[in-house]
Structure 1
C-alpha cells in the first residue's frame, strides 16, 4: 500500500493529492515520552514558527505539531535548520509535515484535520490541543503527576480537564509580564490588566466561570456548558471523539461530541494558560465564517440525534451518561420523529 493511500484511508474526506503530501514524523524528537505523560497538540506554519519555539521553552514535555507549508525545498531546509538548532525542539517536538502546492489555507485539509493529524501521531496517552500562541503559565504536568490516580481515572472514563485561558486587554505590545501564580493573576484581573478568555463570550463571563475559579481549591464541573464552548482541555488521545473535519476551523466541534456522550468538563483550580498576540491572523473570510456557522447549526442537530440514538440503543438513556444530552438537546429530541426516543427528563 502506497503512502498516499494509507493517508487517504486515515483522512477519508480529504482529497487524495492532499493526503499524499502528509509526512508523519518529518522531524522526530530525540527523546521518547512515557506513555502516561501528556503531549501538547498544535498546528503551526513557517510564519508562526517562533510561537512553537516559545511554547517548547515553556512546556518541558512532548509536543506533536502539524506544520503546514509549501513544497519549496529551500524553505523546508530552513525550517529543518531552525529545528536542529533549538535544543528543546529537537529533544521533545515531533513535526508532521503537511505540504501545500499553494500558499494560504487549503480547504482540502482544514485545520480540524491538521489537529487530528497531530493528535494521531502524538506519542502519549493524554493530549492537550491548543493554539500555538498560548503558553502554559503554571506547571500543568506537575499537577497531573501529583494527582495521577484521580486524573487518569477521569480521563480514561471520558471526562476532560479544562485549563482556563486568560488574555490581555490590549494585544499590541510585544512585551508582557506573565503571572506565574494564581494570586498574581487574580491581582491583574482585579486591576483589569488581564481577563478570563472564553471565545464567543465577553471577558470574564464565559462558562469556565471566573467567580467560581477565583475561590476554587479543587476540581469543579462546568455548569453552564454551551455548544459554542471551546476551552483548552486535557483529554485521552484514544477515548475522545475526533474533530469533525467538515469544518475549516472549529475547536468547539472537537468537544461537543465529548460532552454529548456524557463526558464531564472539570476545571483545574490552580493552573491556566495565557494568550499572547497572534503573529498570523486567521485567513478565513467573512463568507467562510457564515458557512462555518451554518454548518455548525446543522452539526448540532445531527450530533444530538446521533448520540441520542446510540445511548438509547445501548440502554443508557435513563442513566447518568445521557444527562448532558437530555439537557442540551431537549428541543431537538422532542421534535425529531415526534419524540420517538421519549421526552427528556
Structure 2
C-alpha cells in the first residue's frame, strides 16, 4: 500500500514539473510577443511600417526607426545616427516616449518649392472631413495622424487610413502622411511641428482640418507678384478670415457654403454667417472683419493681441510651436504669438475666406485643459519677451523693424525696461 502511494506521488510530481515547464515556456513566449508588439511596432501585418517613398541614398534600409541618417565630413569620415534617435531630439519637448513615422505615405507628385502646403493634424474621427479637404484643395498637404498605442486602436486606424488613401486619387497625388504612435492625446503643437517639419514647400498654412476653404486662396497668392514678394521677404504671414454659421446646423452642409466674397457678405448681412467664435472676440477680432467687408487689397493687422489665433500662411523657415502646450487652450495662440514676436507681421487677404464645418466638442476636457494652459501661457509670454529681446540686442537687430512687434507687445511686462537696459549695457 505504501509502495503504491509512493509511485502515485512520483507520477503526480512528474505531472506538476511538466505543467510548470509548459507554463514557463508559454510565459516566455507571451512576454516576447508583448515586447515585440508594444515596443517595436513591427507586428501589424506590415501596415505600421508602410513607407512608399523611394529609398534615399543617405539611408540604409533597416527595421522601422533604425534607418541610419548618414553624412560625410570634409575629412571623408562617415557619421550616422538612427532615424528614431534623430527625431527624439527634434521633438524632445513633447511627451515621451513618442514614436514618429514620417512619410508613412508620400504624395506621388513632388510639389514645387514655391507652393503652399496645408499642414494639419487629424484623428480617426476626422477622416471624412480630411477626405473633403484633400479633394477641395488639390494642392500639397502634410498631415500628422495620431495613433493610440494599443493593438486594437492601431489596427482600426491603419485599416481606415489605407481605405481613405487608396480611395481618393487626390490623396495619393498630393498628401504626405506622418504618424505619431504613443499614448498621449492632444499633443497639438507637436503634431503641428511634425506636419511642418516634413512639408516640402517654402510656405505652409497652419489649418484646422474642420475648416472648408471656400475660395482658391492658393491661386490668389501664387499668382500675385506683390503677395509673393512679401512672403519671400520672410517677414509676412497671410491671414485667411474664418467664419461660422450662426445656426450651427447650417455648418453641417458644406456643399451649400458660399464660394465668393459677395455671397459671404450677403449671408453676413442677413446674420446667418458670423466671425468664427464670435462670442470670443479676442480669437479672431484682430483681423478687423468690418474692414474686410469693404477691402479690395491686403491690409495689415494693427490691433494685435496675444489671444489672436487666425489661420495663416507663412514661410516654413520660421519659428516652431512650443510643444509644452498639450491639450486644449492657448496652444495655437502661443504658436502665433511667438511668430509675431519673432518679427512677422500679419496681413489679411481681402477676398478669400474659410468656413467652419460644425462638429461636437469635448467640453469637459476643454474646460480643464484650458485652465492648465492659461497658467502656462501667462509665464510663456514673459519668457518669450525676455528671450527674444536679448536675442535681438545681441544680434544687432534691436533698432531694426524686426524688433517692432516685440517692443510694442512686451513693454508693459514688469521689469522689462530694466532688463533691456541690462542687456544693452552687457552687449557693449
Same fold, judged at TM 0.5 (above): yes
Pick the aligned partner of 2:116 from 25, 38, 43: 38
**Structure (1/2) with the larger helix percentage:** 2
CA distance in 2: counterparts of 1:336 and 1:189, whole angstroms: 44
Pick the aligned partner of 2:241 from 158, 161, 164: 164
Deviates more, 1:79-88 or 1:31-40: 79-88
Hey, what does 1:121 align to over in structure 2?
A: 198
Aligned-residue offset at 1:152: 3.9
Query: Does the Cα contact within 8 Å between 1:260 and 1:307 map onto a contact in 2?
Result: yes
1:51 matched to 2:129? The reply is: yes
1:9 matched to 2:73? The reply is: no
Pick the aligned partner of 2:224 from 127, 134, 147: 147
Aligned-residue offset at 1:201: 2.9
Hey, what does 1:312 align to over in structure 2?
A: 393
Deviates more, 1:207-216 or 1:330-339: 330-339
CA distance in 1: counterparts of 2:282 and 2:95, whole angstroms: 39
CA distance in 2: counterparts of 1:68 and 1:205, whole angstroms: 27
> What per-residue deviation string (whole Å, max 9, x for no partner) do you get for residues 106-141 of structure 1?
37xx11000000010011111001111001110111
CA distance in 2: counterparts of 1:8 and 1:231, whole angstroms: 30
Aligned pair in 2 of structure 1 residues 160, 205: CA closer, same or farther (>3 Å)? Answer: closer
User: Which TM-score applies when normalising by structure 2?
Assistant: 0.73
Matches within 5 A, 1:134-213: 134-148=211-225, 150-173=227-250, 174-176=252-254, 177-197=256-276, 201-202=280-281, 206-213=285-292
**Larger Rg belongs to:** 2
Aligned pair in 2 of structure 1 residues 203, 141: CA closer, same or farther (>3 Å)? Answer: same
> What per-residue deviation string (whole Å, max 9, x for no partner) do you get for residues 216-252 of structure 1?
11111001100110100000011x2110111015111
Query: Does the Cα contact within 8 Å between 2:283 and 2:309 map onto a contact in 1?
Result: no
**Structure 2 unmatched runs, 5+:** 1-80
CA distance in 2: counterparts of 1:332 and 1:142, whole angstroms: 41
Aligned-residue offset at 1:84: 0.6
Aligned-residue offset at 1:17: 2.6
Aligned pair in 2 of structure 1 residues 25, 222: CA closer, same or farther (>3 Å)? Answer: same
Aligned pair in 2 of structure 1 residues 166, 15: CA closer, same or farther (>3 Å)? Answer: closer
Query: Does the Cα contact within 8 Å between 1:333 and 1:341 map onto a contact in 2?
Result: no
How many residues are aligned here?
Answer: 335
> Please, what is the CA RMSD of the aligned residues?
2.4
CA distance in 1: counterparts of 2:229 and 2:360, whole angstroms: 35
Aligned-residue offset at 1:341: 5.5
Aligned pair in 2 of structure 1 residues 205, 77: CA closer, same or farther (>3 Å)? Answer: closer
Aligned-residue offset at 1:214: 1.1
